[in-house]
Amino acid sequence: MKVVGKNTVRVDGIALAKGKAVFADDLQLPDLLHLKLLYSPIAHGRITHIDTTKAAALPGVAVVLTHRDFPPHFYTTAGQGYPEPSPRDMLILNPVMRYVGDKVAVVAAETPEIAQQAADLIEVQFEELPAIFDPRDAIDNPVVIHGEISDDPFLYDPRRNIAARVTADLGDVDEAFHNSVHVFEREYSTPYVQHAHIEPHITLTWLDDHERLVIRTATQVPFHVRRIVSEVLDFPLHRIRVIKPRIGGGFGGKQEILNEELCAAVTLKTGRPVRMEMTRREEFFAARSRHPEIVKLKIGLDADLHITAIDLKILENCGAYGPHALTVMSVTAQKTLSLYKAPNIRLHADAVYTNLPVAGAYRGYGAPQGFFALESMLDEIAADLGVDPIELREKNLFSPGDEIPIARILGEGREGYEMKLNTTGMTRCLQRGAELIGWGERRGSEKTAVCRRGVGVAAACQGSGIPGIDMAAVFLKMNEDASFNLQTGATDLGTGADTVLAQIAAETLGVPVERIIVYAADTDLTPFDTGAYASSTTFVSGGAVKKAAEKLRAKILSQGKLLLNTRRAEIKDEFVVAENGEKISFGEICSRSLYTDNQRQLMATASHMSYDSPPPFNATFAEVTVDTETGLVRVEKIVSVTDAGQVINPPMAEGQVEGAIPQSLGMALSEHMMFDKKGRPLVTTFHDYHIYTALDMPEVVVEFIHTHEPTGPYGAKAVAEIPIDGPAPAVVNAIYDACGVRIRNLPVTPEKILRGLGKLK
């Protein structure tokens, strides 16, 4: 291949390097209003009185809106395929407060400072209600957080505070445990963690020359934004245009409709452009986070150490509202149960409401929680039975040709589809990673020093889009100089998706990637795409690009044969070459087609949806040092080896892995959103919330194992989410190898290490 698999420069690289005006906030609008929100100071209560008189009278204030200004239309903020498999439990502004940070009122003013001053002038009285902060206390609690909704098919049982439930059964689990030689049972937990993307949520709205609503917003899901804003404001969809500019990070946090509906409502009410930018403090409590989960695992094995049964229980804390509640824990289960063969499976998962901030989509989408539990437990089993953790994993892996049975039973919000494994490089990932970390030399070595080193491993799998749901469409047209316009609804989050799609188009058409001009994610000008989530862009959107490019290549060949007056010809190096050697260039074919001969535009469209979602695989190895006097853990080295099929762009794929590792290390060792006894956030700045920085990073080694996935474009599988699943459990397993302390609830802290060593009560 000439383009795919090669180190291709990003199509947007020069603009980004030069600091061109490409992000949402780079657009300067005249006569702009600025939005600020008044947030609830209590975790649970009802507004009994609200007076906006002083706020509205403040000079520079254009409008103040409360729940009285909006009809009681319930919706979900989750940017998912329609109908969204999330509870419709939210109002634009609600008279009932369900967490500290719930929206009380919105103010639009001439400056952000005036808007904030006006918000502070709003007088509100609340009837405070009892609150629930521990998900273990939520089910059947006399405090009911959402008691007013009864007819939502995706809301499981609001009277019991259960937002969603997922169950599944395969085989006879009880009989399998009865006959197992070894049975292990453990519980693990993961906390709230924040996306911490550099660019906050920011939205601009205005009315164009035709009084159509334009929304320019940092979003992963422009088409979902258009649909949901249309629905909740009862405004015609055809009069809404959503533009996705460059995005300064999303990681799932921008798979949410957070402020677009508010900005749109104010623009429609005032006729003026509106801007809203969330502060970093607001991002911590008013945006979204990763769902905390409590995961219980029971695993049986036979005498040969083959897994006989898995019983998986999940308790997910979705916070005060339920966007993504059902689907995140579905992914926790489906991905966790897709890695190892288990003929007998039982699943029970509940997502419960609490009076804490709302959780949502975060890179990995439930899989990091599940693999922390599974891969920690595999290590515990290996230690108890005295076997090598790698050998235990290899013994239980699926092989090419195997069906992964849980995939048929469990989809996202519905039943799944048959999944037969075409390719897996999992064994090679484990073996290569072991070589790179020095597994045999370092594992289980003498541990007598104060500072002790250990190594750990974790395996993981993910998916490539949501089968039977995700869909993408593209449009390709040819220009006179043999360049091509690629219009795609796919959303580049800074991941390089535009470049990957351009490479696929260029490879198929047989032209340099510089000839592909990408225009993306404008609901007026580009075809539909479900958006950037579920590791879908390369596999699903790339599949659409390849189809369209193949159609256009066939049209170019057909037109070339017509212009050459021949029946037989082929494409060679941007020429159509007849069997007699006569040839005509791509550029001449297009020029003559547009202006002189058999005039028509050479163009093609294609849509792509797949019932396949081939899993990429990853093995992550960690080397750590544990100071047994202070409990401090230092990660010395991370080795990440991934099977992503045919890697389309190696440097960008490496960048995906290198970006995922610090996010997972943060979840393992330093990141934790904490709240006081009244549900108020204690951590709202990067001074208190410690993400991994360049100063904290260990040595990182990234490699890819090549496989060729027949269902993916040019053999590609996804790479976006898979590398985030393994570092946290690998680090925890390395800590155990270093000092013998097993941590089952993240994050690991010095106190937990010292307590495990018996040095702290």
Domains and CATH numbers, the chain: 13-17+471-609 (3.30.365.10), 31-129+201-276 (3.90.1170.50), 293-466+612-756 (3.30.365.10)
Q: Is the pLDDT of residue 446 over 90?
A: no
Taking 80 as the threshold, does the pLDDT of residue 493 lie above it?
Answer: yes
pLDDT exceeding 70 applies to what percent of the chain?
A: 100
Average pLDDT over residues 428-432: 98
pLDDT of residue 312: 98
- Spatial contact of 358 and 323, defined as CB atoms under 8 Å apart: yes
CA distance 716 to 543: 10
% residues pLDDT > 90 (the chain)? 96
pLDDT for residue 592: 97
Residue 547 CA to residue 605 CA, distance in Å, equals 8
Amino acid type, 171: G
- Whole-model pTM: value is 0.97
Q: Specify the residue for token string 């993240």.
A: 746
Helix axes 222-233, 260-270, angle to 10 degrees: 50
By the 8 A CB rule, do 496 and 10 touch?
Answer: yes
Instruction: Give CA–CA dist 284/670, Å, rounded.
Output: 15
Q: With 80 as the cut, is the pLDDT of residue 299 above it?
A: yes
Q: Is the pLDDT of residue 161 over 80?
A: yes
Give the model's confidence band at 28: pLDDT under 50 very low, under 70 low, under 90 confident, else very high: very high
Read off the pLDDT of residues 89-128 as tens digits, 9 standing for 90 and up: 999 999 999 999 999 999 999 999 999 999 999 999 999 9
Average pLDDT over residues 465-476: 96
Quickly state the pLDDT bin for 81 (edges 50, 70, 90): very high
Q: What is the mean pLDDT of residues 342-369?
A: 98
pLDDT band at 448 (very low <50, low <70, confident <90, very high): confident
Express each pLDDT in 177-226 by its tens digit.
999 999 999 999 999 999 999 999 999 999 999 999 999 999 999 999 99
What does the pLDDT read at residue 414? 78
Q: What is the DSSP letter of 516?
A: E
In the predicted structure, residue 443 carries a pLDDT above the cut 90: no
| Host H or E run for residue 575 | strand 575-578
In angstroms, the Cα distances linking 746 to 574, 586, 595 are 56, 58, 66
Q: Band of the pLDDT at 340, cuts 50, 70, 90? A: very high
User: What sign for the dihedral angle of Cα 71, 76, 82, 84?
Assistant: negative
Q: Which residue has the tokens 């949901």?
A: 228
Q: pLDDT tens for residues 534-567?
A: 999 999 999 999 999 999 999 999 999 999 999 9
Cα distances from 752 to residues 146, 717, 760, in angstroms, run 36, 39, 8
SS (H, E, C) 481-510: CCCEEEEECCCCCCCCHHHHHHHHHHHHHC
Q: Give the pLDDT band of residue 411 (cuts 50, 70, 90).
A: confident
Angle (CA) 672-674-679 rounded to 5° is: 150
pLDDT beyond 90 at 149: no
Model confidence pLDDT, tens digit, residues 590-641? 999 999 998 999 999 999 999 999 999 999 999 999 999 999 999 999 999 9
Q: Report the run of H or E that residue 230 belongs to, with start and end.
A: helix 222-233
Q: Please check the confidence at residue 429 and state whether its pLDDT lies above 90.
A: yes
Q: What is the mean pLDDT of the chain?
A: 97
Token couple for 621: 């190895």
Q: Which residues, in sequence order, are CB contacts of 73 under 8 Å at separation 6+?
A: 91, 92, 231, 232, 234
